[in-house]
Amino acid sequence: MKKRGSNRFLIGLFLISLGIFLIVTNLNKPRVLILHSYYTDYSWVRDINEGLDRVFKKYSYNIRYHYMDTKRHTDNNFKIKAGLTVIKMIESWKPDVILSIDDNAQQMAFKQPKAPKKIKSGRFNQEILKQISNNEDRESILRYYIIDNNKKLYILKEDLTKKEIDSISDILKSVKFKKIKDLPVTKHFLNNPQFKIVFTGVNASARKYGYDKGTNVTGVLERIPFQSFKDIFLKILPEGRRRIVHISDNSPTSQAILEELRGIDWSPLEFPKDTNHILCDTFDDWKKAIREAPEKGNILLVTHYHTIKVKKGGKKNVKPSDVIKWTKANSKLPQIGCWGFFVEDGGMMAVAVSPYEQGEEAAKMAVAMIEKGTPPNKIPILTSKLYLMYVNEPQLKGYGINLPELYEAFARATNTYFTEK
């Protein structure tokens, strides 16, 4: 009996020791936070994750995914909360590498702070509360913030109670009020030696986020392969009918892409900078642009369409596939997109930035930092080079477009050539 009891004790001790060992081992694994701007309902996100996994599966890392979901939720209040959630997570979990994907994540978590705009100096009182409540720019001014002398951050609601006012009244006497849209939801992760940052899927310049001179950051810039677009346009459009119309939503990402488009030399194609770029806020704006497009050009270049609102001033977005479904049914012009999801949503063709490259290259950078101890600023910032062809054959034929065999073969080889509507 004593022997049996002794065996049980030893087995129990072994299991406890094993559990402690596994916990300690897991705690000591390098931590990687994968911070997505959007959510997994977006194929771009899923494909980037696949690219990341191709590299990370070879290593034993503690990986955590976080999705900010800012494509479906575009109002300022949601973005503020999403940004603050990320800050708290990073500060508490303390990842070795933060892998930040797409522009919204950069803007909300790592952007260098700018000097905020002053609203009013002096004591905090009911008159200031009244100004906040009556401000016409209500959407972007639902929150204010102050920073005390110790650089502690306070978020002020427009509906502060008397008790809340009293609790911070001493601080409020000596500070100035500032607009939330200038709030850098960051605790200075950029250039903070405690954290290493890898960005990817970034449409804006590295300089916009301070990454060009950052000491703890590197990454991959996402660039649409415009030279390839030019080549395809010249092959599928007859002479005299080579005028392009660009249409998109009016998101920050689309605005960054617009600046890039305007800087390209499109000759011998025609692409007027002032009249043929249309950024749409609402579905009605989009429909109007599609109907008027034949008066402006011969083919539509479609970039993003994921933040199109149901109505002006509203918060609800039109389902992206519904935007393209309507476009397909009503557009008199053929359309070509810049990402694979355009064809997945029903579009005609896409010369698509490779999400797999964005994921793989960023993951390789993170591995170099963890495994070799390479400082981020010693790893050059890369620009995307690879693209994929997505083709919807019935739509091509419907518009009477003959695609060169090379492009068709490329799409078929990557299993992105679709023969059904």
**Structural domain boundaries of the chain?**
19-112+187-221, 118-182, 226-353+386-418
Strands in 277-280's sheet, in edge-to-edge order, are 277-280, 244-249, 299-302, 335-337, 349-353, 387-392, 417-418
Query: 217 in the Ramachandran plot: left (φ > 0), alpha (ψ -120 to 50) or beta?
Result: beta
Q: Does domain 19-112+187-221 have CATH number 3.40.50.2300?
A: yes
pLDDT of 171 reads 45
Instruction: Look at residue 81 in the predicted model and tell me its pLDDT.
Output: 75
The domains spanning 19-112+187-221 and 226-353+386-418 adopt the same CATH topology: yes
Write down the number of H helices and E strands in the chain.
15, 17
Q: What is the pLDDT of residue 236?
A: 93
Domain 226-353+386-418, CATH number (from 3.30.565.10, 3.40.50.2300, 3.40.50.20, 3.30.70.2190): 3.40.50.2300
Residues of the chain with pLDDT under 50: 111-160, 168, 171-187
- CA of 384: how far to CAs of 13, 19, 254, 355, in Å? 53, 44, 18, 9
Report yes or no: 280 and 250 within 8 Å, Cβ to Cβ.
yes
Provide the pLDDT for residue 146: 43
What is the rounded distance in angstroms from the CA atom of residue 300 to the CA atom of residue 334? 6
pLDDT computed for residue 148 by the predictor:
40
Please tell me the predicted confidence (pLDDT) of residue 190. 86
pLDDT of residue 91: 85
